[in-house]
């Protein structure tokens, strides 16, 4: 009868009990009915609290088996992946964009393999630079599957980056993002004012529309960039 009744209060109470080892890792916790009686609220309210804690990886729930405290909570870090324009302007810096190169090419072998494209697949290859206060911030190397997005051939990328165009024009269903540390090659070093061989924080992104690859993009960030999240 602890006179708590909102689902977020229940979440807090449950988290507190996990933290103070009232309900230690791996243990089973009371069922929804019992908890709803204790908290003096409806089962649906307890259900929402428990469901959200399970989504956060704190609890592990199974029908009939009950709810347990996860032994090794898989924390889900949420990273904001904003538009590069938003990322730069939100720091107060001025955003500037330049299109370096734009060419229609048959997809190279590595790209065909990566995206599962047929031989002779036509692609549009773009290279762009994004500046923050006129300092090079991000080098973008992008390939677009022309077969999947025919209209891209007539798009003009001189004022807006391809990402902004794609988000507006092309729907997608799946995205894969990866983060890694790479070596700056001559090209990247030049564009980002680095030395060849310096480490470069790199993200790669592939997007599909119902299984059909749309675009592959590699983003190389300037010196000292780091991606942060707090939760």
Partner DNA sequence: TATGTTTTTATGTCTATACATATCATCAAG
Partner DNA sequence: CTTGATGATATGTATAGACATAAAAACATA
The binding site for DNA (CB under 7 A) comprises 5-9, 31-33, 40-45, 47-48, 50-51, 54, 61-67
**DSSP letter (8 states) at residue 223:** T
Q: Which one of DNA, a copy of itself, none is in contact with 61 (Cβ closer than 5 to 8 A by kind)?
A: DNA
Q: Which one of a copy of itself, DNA, none is in contact with 211 (Cβ closer than 5 to 8 A by kind)?
A: none
Q: Which one of DNA, a copy of itself, none is in contact with 45 (Cβ closer than 5 to 8 A by kind)?
A: DNA
Closest CB to DNA among residues 57, 199: 57
Spell out, one character per residue from 107 to 146, where the chain touches a copy of itself: x when CB under 8 A holds, - when not: ----------------------------------------
Are 111 and 143 spatial neighbours (Cβ–Cβ below 8 Å)? yes
Query: How many residues interact with a copy of itself (rule CB under 8 A)?
Result: 51
What are the residues facing 175 on neighbouring strands? 207
Query: Token digits for 118?
Result: 């047929």
Are 143 and 128 spatial neighbours (Cβ–Cβ below 8 Å)? no
SS3 sequence of 3-69 = CCCCHHHHHHHHHHHHHCCCCCCCCEECCHHHHHHHHCCCHHHHHHHHHHHHHCCCEEEECCCEEEE
Q: Which one of a copy of itself, DNA, none is in contact with 108 (Cβ closer than 5 to 8 A by kind)?
A: none
State the Cα–Cα distance between residues 166 and 146, nearest whole angstrom. Answer: 12
Residues in contact with a copy of itself by CB under 8 A are 18-21, 25, 57, 71-83, 86, 164, 167-168, 171-183, 197-202, 209, 224-231
């Amino acid at each position: 009868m602890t006179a708590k009744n909102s689902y977020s209060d229940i979440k807090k109470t449950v988290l507190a009990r996990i933290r103070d080892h009232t309900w230690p890792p791996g243990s089973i916790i009371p069922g929804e009915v019992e908890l709803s009686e204790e908290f003096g609220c409806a089962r649906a309210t307890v259900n929402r609290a428990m469901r959200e804690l399970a989504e956060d990886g704190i609890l592990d729930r199974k029908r009939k088996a009950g709810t347990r405290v996860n032994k090794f909570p898989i924390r889900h870090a949420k990273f904001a992946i904003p538009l590069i324009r938003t990322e730069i302007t939100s720091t107060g810096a001025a955003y500037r964009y330049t299109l370096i190169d734009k060419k229609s090419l048959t997809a190279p072998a590595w790209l065909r393999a990566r995206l599962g494209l047929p031989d002779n697949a036509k692609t549009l290859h773009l290279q762009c630079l994004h500046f923050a206060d006129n300092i090079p911030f991000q080098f973008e190397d992008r390939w677009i599957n022309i077969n999947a997005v025919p209209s891209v051939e007539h798009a003009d990328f001189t004022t807006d980056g391809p990402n902004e165009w794609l988000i507006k024009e092309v729907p997608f269903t799946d995205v894969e993002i990866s983060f890694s540390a790479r070596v700056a090659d001559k090209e990247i070093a030049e564009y980002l004012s680095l030395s060849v061989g310096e480490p470069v924080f790199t993200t790669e992104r592939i997007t599909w529309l119902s299984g059909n690859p749309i675009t592959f993009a590699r983003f190389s960030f300037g010196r000292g960039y780091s991606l942060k999240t707090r939760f």
